[in-house]
Structure 1
Amino acid sequence: MYLTQPLHNAVRHRAAHPLTVYGDRVRSVADGAHRVGRLAAGLQALGVGPGDRVALLGANSDRYHEALLAVAWAGGIVVPLNSRWAAEEVGYAMADCAPAVVITDERLLPVVDAVRDRAGVGAVVVMSDGRPPVGAVSFEDLIAVHAPMSDVRRGGDDVLGIFYTGGTTGRSKGVMLSHDNVFTSAWGSLATGHFTTPGGRLLHAAPMFHLADFAIWIAGLLTGGTHVIVDGFTPGGVLAAIERHAVTDVLLVPTMIQALADFPDAGRYDTSSLVRLIYGGSPMPATTLAAARTMFPGAGLVQAYGMTELSPVATLLGPAEHDVPRLAASAGRAAPHAEVRIVDPAGDEVAAGSVGEVVVRGDHVMAGYWQRPEETAAALRGGWMYTGDAGYLDEDGFLFVVDRIKDMIITGGENVHSAEVENVLSQHPAVAACAVIGLPDAQWGERVHALVVPAGDAGVSAEDLRAFCRGRLAGFKIPRSVEVVASLPVSPAGKVVKRQLRQERAR
């Protein structure tokens, strides 16, 4: 398959159906396809040919959606970049992938200008209604001036995109995903019956540069959905969009769901249209999961576990399984397109219930890291993707992810999985958010250290939290030190950047 194939099918079968909704602007399938073909011709005129990279740097919008399709239509490789990165990080990624063209919006044009020469960027296209500054090209002018070109239809094993990882464990790496990779993940996820509603209205509130949202975008293309797009996440904006556009499906990360639960005006909005709430990206505290079920009682909850390198889905936990308390703590079972195993450091499979590294195999596994053969070889061994996650499979094949292997704390010779401690701390009523890391300790090698964000004006003390943990955790797992902080550094995927926390406290 190839990325634009679902768009061509939609033109034949439902040309008048709304494809995108962005604010008051609604574009049909036919209109959207026409614009994509014209934009692709404009990109070709700027020098984009088969295999050339085109970087996207901007907020969510209908134009961003069109750019994703137009790059593939022209035969290029799309490179969605994190719109929250600093200029240095953007410059690093651009220098790494050497894009022929950068498509950005007005807000981020200064960032592109700051790195343009160093990264060797050619043309810069600006997504806006007004005139672009000197040295940039108008997105709308490219569409207005050029007649639609024929779709190049690169697909199959050809690289569709380079998706840079969040950098939570170091420098971002460019993950090469083929057309077949992303469609394998999408079709397998859809085969469970739990992944987006056919013909539904999908809300894009999570960043579209992130592969989690990209995954439901692909699924929506395949199933004839309408893409309702907001330029960024705010609790009121998301709830208003669900009400106004009768949204059926939304993907959110746990930090977003918690923000909705904490939003004082949440009860004012009619969210009864919501059929499915998909979540993933980081562990979901039990309290946040309960809040989601209370806020959206008519919506089925679906957890997706995976990573960018897996295009991105490996396992899914369906709505019915959320009703079983034991299973609700799991990440579900392998999706139809994936094999999941747990292995020891030697790469040998371990018995059910034993903790080891999660490895995954299937046609959704990445082609490799862009220009990083050694790191590709380290991650892909014997046909398996080594995820770096520690977990176990129960007798029924449900996956329980206990930690990132690099986040495991070894204190006094005992292994402590930070996620287990965090899950207990998050149940304390005075805790809004928390993170647990290991810090050097002369006596224990490492000590369990908790960073806690208090809930509102609630007071919280180290002794209160330790007392709360007693009886819920083994003694060696209880935090030996507690630090109250105003906030935690969070990646766009909603993951706490523990590397940063450890580095700051090692100074």
Structure 2
Amino acid sequence: MSRLQLTQGLRRSADLFGDRVATIMGDRRSTWREVENRVARLAAGLRGLGAQRGDRIVILALNSDRYIDAYYAILWAGCVAVPLNTRWVWAEIAHALSDSEPSLILYDAHFAHLAPELAKTCPVVAMDGAGDGSPCFDALVSAYDPMPDESAGGDDLAMIFYTGGTTGRSKGVMLSHANLAGNFLAQQALLHYPSDTVFLHVAPMFHMADACCLLGMTAIGATHVALPVFDPAQVIDTIVRERVTAVMLVPTMIAMLIEALQDRDDDMSCIQRIFYGASPISEAVLRKAMATFPNARFCQAYGQTELSPVATVLEHEDHLRGYLRSAGRPIPTVDLRVVDETMQSRPFGEVGEIAVRGPGVMMGYWRQPELTGATIIDGWLRTGDAGYRDADGYVFLVDRVKDMIVSGGENVYSVEVENALMSHPAVRQCAVIGVPDDRWGEAVHAFVQLHPDGDVSADTLIAHAKERIAGYKCPRSFTFREDPLPLSGAGKILKTELRKLVTGQA
């Protein structure tokens, strides 16, 4: 029986659009036929280095055309791709390596300084020219003949994405071929990306949101344009030079692009689609964006990595009808309910936890069956997000059940930050919340009570935290208190009271 394979999208594009430009990275261009040949040779090289079917292979790299090669070569070889967050510090990288137990690690020049440490885990491969003696992509392509596609498919594991955890450790979200392929096809039923789309990747490719676009655009034969990092001026220059037609952005990026364009006179008329999500966006920024990109159809997506990733979409027509505060309605194949603590549905207009069922629901958390069982109940995934639905089925998010902060499109779990701060000997008690921020959507704010003999500054605590967690997770502001933090009758810190102190809202 034929099964959904992510590599089928690459094979299809090479067959139907072989001479079309597939990837653009600076001055480097490859056609779909060239990408397929390169991927088949790389896959053979990965096998030649000892990778076996089902093995995990880690990717630690910035965005590039080589990242696309890496994703597909891993799958082509029948292995499992494990992309890592490029903003992690070493302790976080080391945890993911220990947890996933990869057979190979692929890295780019940006992380070449870590190659000796990475090699202590397993063999390493440089995605670009290697000056440290590691085998590199170009050498493998030259040394190996193309191998047949031996990708797994269907409900087999395809990728593991690490996402922040409420226990203070990242957890691996297991997604199958069917999860990932089916989610894009459901989105495509609404969004109708044309085959000749020129898609710009500026959101990180290790994120599920951009990875979904990468896989989907490959399946329809679109052209990928990659930038290693987000820089507003470079994004604008690239849009103009390559006549980009579609892009996926987080709201922070949209705001920064609008600001940069105020001092420039660039033609943005080529942009036909802007796909955004990952964090809240203000109506003012959204209205400015719609004016700045007059030919663009705007689409907001709500979801999470555990949903492969999209659950709802706010279509362009919904924007025009004034639903700017909504996260949209469920995509085809997705059931969505708003439930109480016992998983009973709540009436329209009443707030509860959003639960989702459908083919995009993850296989589970890697090696964490108890957490998986607590998250997926009778096929329904508990998102941890609070919201409500109106009578027309539009979803409105009002808060997060879990203590997660979304800053610049990145998920930050408060307990992870609290653990880092509490490891300082001067800290007696702390609590972390998200506060509104015009630039980042939300910023991390820490309430800290020191020991009686404790003497430490905010700068010192930030430096201490940066040794343990990524910089974007660290507090941007502090409130130092002499009194203990407010507690509930059960002894839990009342973060609702703390939010009132900073924002005036619970």
Which range, TM-score by smaller chain? 0.7 to 0.9
1:399 paired with 2:386, answer no
Give unmatched runs, 5+ long, in structure 1.
409-417, 423-434, 438-445, 456-482
Amino acid aligned to 1:280:
G
Deviation at 1:196, TM superposition (A): 3.3
Q: Take 1:504 and 1:70, find their aligned partners in 2: how far apart are those partners? A: 51
- TM-score, reference length from structure 2: 0.80
The answer on whether the counterparts of 2:329 and 2:393 sit within 8 Å (CA) in structure 1 is: yes
Whole-angstrom distance in 2 between the partners of 1:95 and 1:22: 32
- The residue type paired with residue 188 of structure 1 is A
Q: Within the alignment, does 1:388 sit opposite 2:391 as a pair?
A: no
* Structure 2 residue runs without a partner (length 5+): 415-429, 440-457, 486-506
Tell me, yes or no, if the aligned pair for 2:59 and 2:82 is still in contact at 8 Å: yes
Give 1:221's aligned amino acid: T
**Which of residues 37, 41, 52 in structure 2 aligns to 1:38?**
41
**267, 285, 289: which one aligns with 2:286:** 289
Matched with 1:144 is 142
Q: Deviations over 1:43-93 (max 9, x none)?
A: 000111110000000010111110100000000000000111111111110
Whether contact under 8 Å (1:168, 1:498) holds in the other structure is no
For 1:364-383, what aligned pairs fall within 5 Å after superposition?
364-383=360-379
Equivalent position SS for 1:263: helix
Maintained 8 Å contact 2:13/2:220:
no
The corresponding residue for 1:159 is 157
Q: Distance in 1 between matches of 2:176 and 2:141?
A: 27
Establish whether residue 109 from structure 1 lines up as the match of residue 105 from structure 2. no
Per the normalisation by structure 1, the TM-score is: 0.80
Please name the residue that 1:28 is paired with: 31
Amino acid at match of 2:377: R
Residues 498 and 387 of structure 1, relative CA distance in 2, 3 Å threshold:
farther
Preserved contact between residue 260 and residue 266 of structure 1 (Cα < 8 Å) = no
Task: Mark the CA change 1:503 to 1:72 in structure 2 (over 3 Å): closer, same or farther.
Answer: farther
How far did residue 503 of structure 1 move?
10
Note if 1:250 corresponds to 2:240. no
Structure 1 residues 280, 450: closer, same or farther in 2, change over 3 A?
closer
Q: d(CA) in 2 for partners of 1:34 and 1:154? A: 19
Decide whether the 8 Å contact of 1:126 with 1:132 is kept in 2: no
Task: Name the counterpart of 2:84.
Answer: 81
Structure 2 CA distance for aligned equivalents of residues 57 and 396 of structure 1: 43
Give SS of 2:6's match: coil
**Alignment equivalent of 1:275, drawn from 272, 289, 304:** 272
Structure-2 change in CA distance of 1:93 and 1:501 (3 Å):
farther
Deviation (angstroms), 1:109: 2.2
The answer (yes or no) to whether the contact 1:197–1:248 under 8 Å persists in 2 is no
Q: Amino acid of the residue matched to residue 67 of structure 1?
A: A
The structure with higher relative contact order (CA 8 Å, sep 6+) is 2
Which residue, 180, 189, 192 being the options, matches 1:191? 189
Tell which deviates more after alignment, 258-267 or 355-364: 258-267
- Shift in Å, 1:132: 2.9
CA distance, structure 2, for counterparts of residue 21 and residue 448 of structure 1: 41
CA distance in 2, matches of 1:449, 1:37: 47
CA contact under 8 A between 1:22 and 1:228: conserved in structure 2?
Answer: yes
Instruction: Name the residue aligned to 2:225.
Output: 228
Equivalences for residues 400-415 of structure 1 within 5 A: 400-407=396-403
1 CA distance for matches of 2:149 and 2:370?
35
Partners in 1 of 2:479 and 2:135 — Cα distance?
Answer: 41
Deviation, structure 1 residue 151: 0.8
Of stretches 232-241 and 385-394 in structure 1, the one that deviates more from structure 2 is: 232-241
Where does 1:288-367 land on structure 2 (aligned, <5 Å)? 288-325=285-322, 327-367=323-363
Q: Say if 1:59 and 1:232, in contact at 8 Å, map to a contact too.
A: yes
* Aligned counterpart, 1:133: 132
**Paired residues of 1:196 and 1:216 also in contact (CA < 8 A):** no
Stretch moving more, 260-269 or 61-70: 260-269
Which amino acid is the alignment partner of residue 132 of structure 1? G
Distance of aligned partners of 1:454 and 1:213 in 2 relative to their CA distance in 1, 3 Å threshold? closer
Q: Is the aligned partner of 1:57 residue 2:53?
A: no
Query: Deviation at 1:496?
Result: 8.0
* Aligned residues of 1:341 and 1:359 also touching (Cα < 8 A): yes
**Counterpart-to-counterpart distance in 2, 1:199 and 1:168:** 41
Counterpart code for 1:349: S
TM-aligned CA distance change 1:11 to 1:304, over 3 Å: same
Q: Which runs of 4+ in 1 moved over 6 A?
A: 446-450, 498-507
Mean Cα deviation higher: 215-224 or 23-32: 215-224
More divergent stretch after superposition (257-266 vs 352-361): 257-266
The one-letter amino acid of 2:161's match is F
The percent identity for this pair of structures is 40
Aligned amino acid, residue 380 of structure 1: I
Taking a change above 3 Å as real, the CA distance of residues 503 and 47 of structure 1, as seen in their structure-2 partners, is farther
Report the residue type matching 2:337 in the other structure.
R
User: Within 2, Cα distance between the matches of 1:59 and 1:363?
Assistant: 30
1:309-356 deviation line (CA, Å, top 9, x unaligned)? 00000000000100122x111000000021110000111001000000
Following superposition, the deviation at residue 166 of structure 1 comes to: 3.9
Q: RMSD in angstroms over aligned alpha carbons?
A: 3.1
The size of the alignment, in residue pairs, is 435
21 and 258 in structure 1: CA distance in 2 versus 1, 3 angstrom threshold = same
User: SS of the residue aligned with 2:359?
Assistant: coil
Distance 1:90 1:27 in 2: 31
Measured in 1, the distance between the counterparts of 2:99 and 2:480 equals: 27
Aligned counterparts of 1:13 and 1:450: Cα–Cα separation in 2: 48
- Whether the 8 Å contact between 2:315 and 2:328 is mirrored in structure 1 is yes
Q: Which whole-Å CA distance do the structure 1 matches of 2:275 and 2:244 have between them?
A: 13
CA gap of 1:159–1:336, structure 2 versus 1, over 3 A, is: same
Shift of 1:273: 0.7
User: 2:434 and 2:40 mapped to 1: Cα distance?
Assistant: 52
Deviates more, 1:174-183 or 1:100-109: 100-109
Equivalent residue runs for 1:175-190 within 5 Å: 175-190=173-188
